[in-house]
Amino acid sequence: MGENAKGLSPTNIVRLKDSWTTEYQNWLKSDLSAKKYAYIWADGIYFNIHLEEDRPCVLVLVGALENGNKETIMIYVGQRESNLSWKEVLQNLKHRGLKEGPKLAIGDGALGFWAALEEEFPATKQQ
């Protein structure tokens, strides 16, 4: 919003935040039962926000469908890239109806993701 946010009242800001929160909560429930991902990219993005002692981490999954189209399938705010946080992310995909894991998962060296992937989608190959 940047420069365009000038003049927005606190009431409007709260209303926008509530609207975005509702949209996000609904998106977290979106149906994945018809989806088949050839591969997913996983990454944790840390933010330097000086309001908190710990750096918040946003866990992101981008999936590539078998037809090549890519889509963001999860954005999850956590404290770190732990096994537990990634496990919650992958379990959410199952709760949303994902029947089988992707054929391949791509990520960095964050061990929490790989451990959670092994537990939730053991047939998925790792790169």
The CATH number for 113's domain is: 3.30.420
pLDDT of amino acid 36: 95
pTM, two decimal places? 0.81
Q: Look at residue 13 and tell me if it is in a domain.
A: no
H or E element, residue 19:
helix 10-27
Whole-angstrom distance, CA of residue 18 vs CA of residue 86: 26
Provide the residue-wise pLDDT of the chain in tens; the chain has 127 residues: 556 667 778 888 888 888 999 999 999 999 999 999 999 999 999 887 666 567 778 999 999 999 999 999 999 987 688 899 999 999 999 999 999 999 999 998 888 999 999 999 999 999 9
Q: How far is CA 112 from CA 22, 85, 89, in A?
A: 29, 8, 11
H or E element, residue 73:
strand 70-78
Q: Look at residue 9 and tell me if it is in a domain.
A: no
Whole-angstrom distance, CA of residue 33 vs CA of residue 26: 16
Q: Look at residue 1 and tell me if it is in a domain.
A: no
Q: Look at residue 8 and tell me if it is in a domain.
A: no
Q: Look at residue 22 and tell me if it is in a domain.
A: no
Token pair belonging to 27: 């998106």
pLDDT of amino acid 90: 96
52 lies in which domain range?
31-126
Q: Look at residue 45 and tell me if it is in a domain.
A: yes
Q: Look at residue 54 and tell me if it is in a domain.
A: yes
Name the domain count of the chain: 1
pLDDT of amino acid 1: 57
Q: Look at residue 26 and tell me if it is in a domain.
A: no
User: Is the distance from CB of 40 to CB of 60 less than 8 angstroms?
Assistant: no
